[in-house]
């Protein structure tokens, strides 16, 4: 479980990148939901936390592939592979990310 | 239409095939490509592929699952030699002919060459085979590399070579590289990136010849100097691959002349990507090659121009650890204003910058170095503005 930041420090419509290996992007959507996905676009080499957030979709800032934050799946080309998704919880006003791989090894 | 033939099996050809199927075309689809490879992506060739960060599997544009879905006949490793005057028969180099009802021309461009560049050690960088050959030579140990041409591909290649530990010099005939693309002010800023990588930039002098008997040993400059070299990379631009269309009835002038919708004078022939001169301009950008096929295919299937393909231009380049992004259409005389970030010593400072090109109070283009998020916002604004402008002029 990795602490990210306080909920009030990540306003709706914003995203933040955490420097895990590989880095993870955490999004706060306009609807107030929190999502975490691997930060690096599966197409080439762009940071999705810098992308354009619209609803549950984030558009890559380099070649405009779009990913569904709920599933990690690309909804259009040029990306063809999904990014990993991670679960997010808020404990005492602090956002935490549970890395998918971490859970896998713990099990 | 019962048969559509796509000539050129690369980026724009593949996107055209996808669009044909996505737009409901269920007839026979033939894809002809003169390279033996399935479609692959060129931009990484001068970047991560050259430095070894990305291998060939990362270049593939498609996979077997998609290939099966596309249900096309791939004729690879065979060049199209001619298109008949009516645009109904594609003649192949191996003597075969393909009778067809529709044609998508997607033959791209080829690296321009220098006279005498058949010496060993002299390379161009356009194809996977080019990049393989160059990469192999670059792994043989440190050497002296001269890159001829300071455009985006030249700069990226120089950057990659220098990061591999080679001693690199870039020769540019113009007083400053990239001026046509970026304007003098910002061209100077991007040229300063070469310093970052410890690469020498020699400007304002042309190349008079290459030295060497079997392998290259140096580059003679028009100012009388000779640069010693073990490897020479010729990056002096690309010419559209239209030679095979010589006997057709299509108008050719720096590309296949098309209307705003990628349609040629023959209603069943469209052109896309680097080879197409669409509405008076020919782009050599990845994004145009992926966007044009949508309109081109719609118009091909409709038999007339029902959609236009004039998006706001966009390209990116990665060099010396910096990511350059540019969008819009700048013209000489536009003023340039850095609205975010700053320069340090004439080069992009740590954290990059965003610059706007302006004319009469309107933004015409945007350039960013390492500022993807504000760039993206500005790019959307510009695209929206262009859309509104188009609606206004259509209403007039
Ligand atoms: C090294 C490199 C780096 C690049 N980096 C960037 C970048 O960072 N950003 C950017 O925006 N753009 C970049 N580009 C440009 C981008 O790759 C091109 O715009 C894009 O590849 C154009 O696609 P295309 O399908 O139109 O043409 P091409 O990719 O040139 O494909 C045309 C295909 O048709 C084949 N062909 C030609 N003639 C015939 C014939 N007679 N019969 C059959 N087949 C034929 C060719 O062999 C080729 O396979 C780069 C290009 C290169 C070479
Ligand atoms: S790197 Fe994200 S779409 Fe290309």
pLDDT in tens, B337-373: 999 999 999 999 999 999 999 999 999 999 999 999 9
- Per the structure, how many domains does chain A have? 1
pLDDT at B180 over 60: yes
pLDDT at A105 over 70: no
| Ligand 2 pocket test, candidate residues A25, A52, A65, A83, most atoms within 8 A of CB | A65
Which pLDDT does position A104 carry in this prediction? 46
Note whether residue A85 is domain-resident.
yes
Which residues sit with their C-beta closer than 6 Å to ligand 1? B 7-13, 32-35, 42-43, 45-46, 79-80, 106-109, 125-126, 153, 241, 244, 273-275, 284-287, 289, 315-317
CATH number of the structural domain spanning residue A11: 2.102.10.10
- In contact, B227 and B218? CB cutoff 8 Å: yes
pLDDT at A107 over 50: no
pLDDT at B219 over 90: yes
Note whether residue A105 is domain-resident.
no
Which pLDDT does position B257 carry in this prediction? 98
Which pLDDT does position A38 carry in this prediction? 97
Eight-class DSSP state of B171 = E
CA A92, chain centre distance (Å): 21
CB distance B286–A46 less than 8 Å?
no
- Please write the tens of the pLDDT for every residue from B38-79: 999 999 999 999 999 999 999 999 999 999 999 999 999 999
Mean pLDDT is lowest, of B51-60, B98-107, B385-394, for: B385-394
Confidence label for B396 from pLDDT (cuts 50, 70 and 90) = low
Q: CA-CA distance, B70 to A69, in Å (whole number)?
A: 28
Note whether residue A23 is domain-resident.
yes
Closest residue on chain A to B288 (Cα): A63
- For chain B, the average pLDDT equals 96
In terms of Cβ atoms closer than 10 Å to its own Cβ (0-12, 13-18, 19+), residue A24 is buried
Which pLDDT does position A106 carry in this prediction? 40
- In contact, B237 and B149? CB cutoff 8 Å: yes
Q: Structural domain of residue A94, as residue ranges?
A: 2-98
- Please write the tens of the pLDDT for every residue from B296-345: 999 999 999 999 998 899 999 999 999 999 999 999 999 999 999 999 99
**Arithmetic mean of pLDDT, B114-136:** 95
- Please write the tens of the pLDDT for every residue from A38-60: 999 999 999 999 999 999 999 99
The predicted model scores a pTM of 0.95
Note whether residue A103 is domain-resident.
no
Confidence label for A100 from pLDDT (cuts 50, 70 and 90) = confident
> In this structure, which residue's CA is closest to atom 1 in ligand 2?
A44
Note whether residue A104 is domain-resident.
no
- In contact, B118 and B159? CB cutoff 8 Å: no
Note whether residue A106 is domain-resident.
no
In degrees and rounded to multiples of 5, residue B221 shows phi and psi of -100, 155
Which pLDDT does position B115 carry in this prediction? 85
Which pLDDT does position B67 carry in this prediction? 95
Residue B133 Cα, ligand 1 centroid: separation in angstroms?
A: 18
- In contact, A93 and A7? CB cutoff 8 Å: yes
Which pLDDT does position B386 carry in this prediction? 77
- For chain A, the average pLDDT equals 93
């Amino acid at each position: 479980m990795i602490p990210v930041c306080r909920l009030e420090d990540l306003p709706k419509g914003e995203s933040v990148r955490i420097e895990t290996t590989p880095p993870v992007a955490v999004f706060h959507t306009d609807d107030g939901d929190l999502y975490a996905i691997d930060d690096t676009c599966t197409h080439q080499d762009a940071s999705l936390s810098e992308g354009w957030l619209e609803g549950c979709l984030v558009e890559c800032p380099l070649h405009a592939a779009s990913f569904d934050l709920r599933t990690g799946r690309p909804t259009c080309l040029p990306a063809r592979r999904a990014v990993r998704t991670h679960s997010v919880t808020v404990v005492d006003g602090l956002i935490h990310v549970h890395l998918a791989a971490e859970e896998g090894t713990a099990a | 239409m019962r048969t559509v033939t796509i000539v050129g099996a690369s980026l724009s050809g593949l996107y055209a095939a996808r669009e044909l199927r996505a737009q409901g075309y269920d007839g026979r689809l033939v894809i002809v490509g003169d390279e033996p490879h399935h479609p692959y992506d060129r931009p990484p060739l001068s970047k991560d592929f050259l430095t070894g960060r990305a291998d060939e599997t990362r270049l593939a544009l498609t996979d077997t699952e998609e290939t099966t879905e596309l249900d096309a006949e791939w004729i690879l490793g065979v060049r199209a030699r001619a298109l008949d005057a009516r645009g109904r028969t594609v003649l192949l180099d191996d003597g075969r002919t393909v009778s067809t009802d529709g044609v998508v021309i997607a033959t791209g461009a080829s690296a321009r060459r220098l006279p005498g560049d058949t010496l060993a050690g002299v390379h161009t960088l356009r194809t996977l085979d080019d990049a393989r050959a160059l990469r192999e030579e670059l792994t043989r140990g440190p050497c002296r590399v001269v890159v001829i041409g300071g455009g985006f591909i030249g700069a990226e290649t120089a950057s990659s070579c220098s990061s591999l530990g080679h001693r690199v010099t870039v020769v540019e005939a113009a007083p400053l590289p990239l001026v046509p693309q970026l304007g003098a002010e910002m061209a100077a800023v991007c040229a300063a990136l070469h310093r970052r990588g410890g690469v020498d930039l020699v400007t304002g002098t042309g190349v008079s010849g290459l030295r060497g008997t079997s392998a290259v040993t140096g580059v003679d400059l028009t100012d009388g100097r000779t640069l010693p070299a073990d490897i020479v990379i010729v990056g002096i631009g690309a010419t559209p691959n239209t030679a095979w269309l010589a006997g057709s009835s299509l108008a050719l002038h720096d590309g296949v002349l098309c209307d705003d919708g990628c349609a040629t004078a023959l209603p069943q022939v469209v052109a896309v990507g680097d080879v197409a001169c669409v509405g008076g301009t020919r782009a050599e950008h990845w994004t145009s090659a992926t966007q044009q096929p949508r309109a081109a295919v719609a118009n091909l299937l409709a038999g007339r121009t029902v959609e236009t393909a004039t998006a706001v231009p966009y390209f990116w380049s990665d060099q010396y650890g910096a990511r350059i992004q540019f969008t819009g259409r700048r013209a000489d005389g536009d003023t340039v204003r850095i609205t975010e970030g700053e320069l340090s010593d004439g080069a992009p400072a740590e954290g990059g910058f965003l610059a706007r090109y302006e004319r009469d109070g309107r933004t015409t283009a945007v350039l960013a170095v390492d500022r993807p998020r504000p760039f993206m916002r500005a790019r959307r604004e510009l695209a929206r503005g262009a859309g509104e402008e188009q609606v206004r002029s259509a209403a007039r």
